[in-house]
Amino acid sequence: MSNNNDDWQPTLYRHEHAFVFEKGISLVKLLNPQPFELVLDLGCGTGELTEQVSRSGCFVIGVDASSAMTYSAKNSFPEVDFIVADGTQLCFRSVFDSVYSNAVIHWIRKPLQLLQNIHDCLLPGKPLVAEFGGEGNVESITTALSLATEQHTNKKWVPTKWYFPKPAQFECLLQEAGFTVTLNTCFDRPTKLQEGSQGLRSWLRMFCPELSRNYSKEEYQKILSTVEKELRSKLFDGTNWYADYKRIRLVAVRNR
């Protein structure tokens, strides 16, 4: 799910970053949707997990703030309902048996407003099941990128578009929004990137597209080369790049 600045590239996402939704399959198992339940996929992206959930026999609606991603999802899975919507401005009221969200919440800079909206979408006693980036997520990459932009330009890149909270910090927000937390865990998940030796560049192109806009072509190439050089000994195994993901996985139930 993006903000109003729709930088998402569905083809690049689906073909070179399938690990995002593939890693979410275990979240669907935790969700355990049942036939005839009404489920909301918050930040559905290109719809692969939404379609997977629909196979359980439940009714699922996928929402995403990116019109490009939602359009792609509709084309790929026409039998599933997809809606363009901002997660902080949802209009559903006490209708869903569950809400799940994979790799999305860290993109939304108004977490309390988001959680209050999710709370209002759910029926009392029903769960939010989510996984997203926690404190320290991709810290090696963001640190190297900040240093590289400072070295080669007069505009240092700062990772302000993401929100990577501590588990305890986020649990407090959940409680404030009217949830009881039943699972809240944080874990390291080094993730192999696709595209082999070009994997890190592909990741930056997908998730930091502003770099190619904010810097000249020459600066951009220097930044990429410097980031690769800085991280090669830590995140490259000679064949593939890895992202130093740290994830929060949680289940929280709307209070009655």
pLDDT tens figures, 13-30: 776 677 777 788 999 999
Amino acid at 231: L
Backbone angles phi, psi at 71, to 5 degrees: -60, -40
Distance from chain centroid for Cα 37:
24
pLDDT of 3 higher than 50: no
d(CA 61, CA 58): 10
What is the per-residue pLDDT across 198-253, written as a single tens digit (0 to 9) for each? 999 999 998 999 999 999 999 999 999 999 999 999 999 999 999 999 999 999 99
What pTM does this model have?
0.92
- Quick check: helix, strand or coil at residue 188? strand
CATH number of 10-137+161-193+246-254: 3.40.50.150
- 199: nearest Cα among 222, 232, 160: 232
pLDDT of 119 higher than 60: yes
